[in-house]
């Protein structure tokens, strides 16, 4: 069977993913990018990974900072994630955030994972970024996360939840 771009995307579109914005304190101010390929890797030491495209103009700025914050987005963040995914957008305009040594923390995100760059690996048209978690927090009260599945944004609610 032949695997092409179209079939690969079609099949993997059935795998729901969380939606995040990776932020850092860049040399000229805050920088950030959308990322949905975030995965926990290890508990000891605490490691996560995400995979920016090699064509990303934002990842080199985040890499230079050496630390970054993964903001897990809430169900009401669809417009925010579209802005952070767009090239040339004023990504932080109108977005509330507080400062953190690793990078801006979006004020009403579901959770925040502050990281330091640990390693990078070549992976086709993307880079696998492995990061050590240095600080972590989830929002209280809990809010519904934003999910991406079959080319659309939605939310996740546990079965039996009101």
**For residue 45, is the peptide bond before it cis, meaning its omega torsion is within 30 degrees of 0?**
yes
pTM equals 0.90
The tens-digit pLDDT sequence of the chain (162 residues) is 688 888 888 888 877 888 999 999 999 999 999 998 899 999 999 999 999 999 999 999 999 999 999 999 999 999 999 999 999 889 999 999 999 999 999 998 999 999 999 999 999 999 999 999 999 999 887 788 888 888 888 887 665 555
**CATH among 3.40.50.300, 2.60.120.260, 3.90.79.10, 2.30.110.10 for 5-151:** 2.30.110.10
Question: Domain map of the chain by residue range?
Answer: 5-151
Nearest C-alpha neighbor of 112 from the set 78, 86, 140: 140
- Please report where in the chains the tokens 């995040």 appear, as a residue: 20
Nearest C-alpha neighbor of 32 from the set 73, 85, 72: 85
């Amino acid at each position: 069977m032949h695997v092409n771009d179209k079939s690969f995307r079609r099949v993997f579109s059935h795998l729901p993913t969380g939606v995040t914005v990776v932020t850092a304190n860049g040399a000229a101010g805050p920088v950030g990018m959308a990322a949905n390929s975030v995965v926990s890797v290890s508990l000891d030491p605490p490691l996560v990974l995400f995979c920016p495209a090699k064509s990303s103009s934002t990842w080199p700025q985040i890499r230079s900072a050496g630390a970054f914050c993964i903001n897990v987005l809430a169900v009401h963040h669809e417009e925010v994630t579209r802005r952070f995914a767009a090239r040339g957008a004023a990504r932080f305009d109108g977005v509330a955030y507080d400062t953190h040594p690793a990078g801006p923390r979006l004020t009403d995100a579901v959770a925040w994972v502050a990281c330091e760059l640990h390693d990078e690996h070549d992976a086709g048209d993307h880079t696998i970024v492995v990061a050590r978690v240095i600080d972590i927090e989830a929002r209280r009260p809990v809010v519904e996360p934003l999910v991406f599945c079959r080319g659309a944004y939605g939310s996740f609610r546990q079965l039996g939840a009101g």
